[in-house]
Amino acid sequence: MNQINLIGRTTKPPELRHTQSGTSVTSFTLAVDRPRSKDREKETDFIDCVAWRNTAEFIAKYFAKGQQMAITGRLQIRDYTDKEGNKRKAAEVVVDNAYFCGDKKTQDYGCNAPVFEAPVTGQDFAELDDEETLPF
């Protein structure tokens, strides 16, 4: 099973582009802190990520540099040839879902808020009497 779950901060604003066929694609780098023990200094991994279509548009529209984000996706290894003709490999996370993560000061909804849905508030519910029938 190839599944990745990460929480980190964007290192720069996500970059939205379009393929020749018009498909949206967004690339960004996520800075993810490693767990640390008492005697080690904080270490951070910088992980390249790519998102496609609606997820790409969502990330490009709502996330800025330094904003905390939770993502799920899969690891992809690509082979390519560099400018000098050397064969290289690149690893990146292909993002399936992106979530707001953080505190209200940055207008985030918390790590459990799914993509494309607004947060649920108490105003979204109506109180029913015990004798009323449920609408479903």
Show pLDDT as tens, one digit a residue, over the chain (136 residues): 999 999 999 999 998 999 999 999 999 999 999 888 778 888 999 999 999 999 999 999 999 999 999 999 999 999 999 999 999 999 999 999 999 987 655 444 445 444 444 444 555 555 556 665 655 5
What CATH number was assigned to the domain covering residues 4-35+42-118? 2.40.50.140
Q: Structural domain boundaries of the chain? A: 4-35+42-118
Res 124: pLDDT: 53
Res 133: pLDDT: 60
The pTM score is 0.71
Q: Buried (b) or exposed (e) across 41-76, using 16+ Cβ within 10 A?
A: eeeeeebebbbeeebbebbbeebeeebbbbbebeee
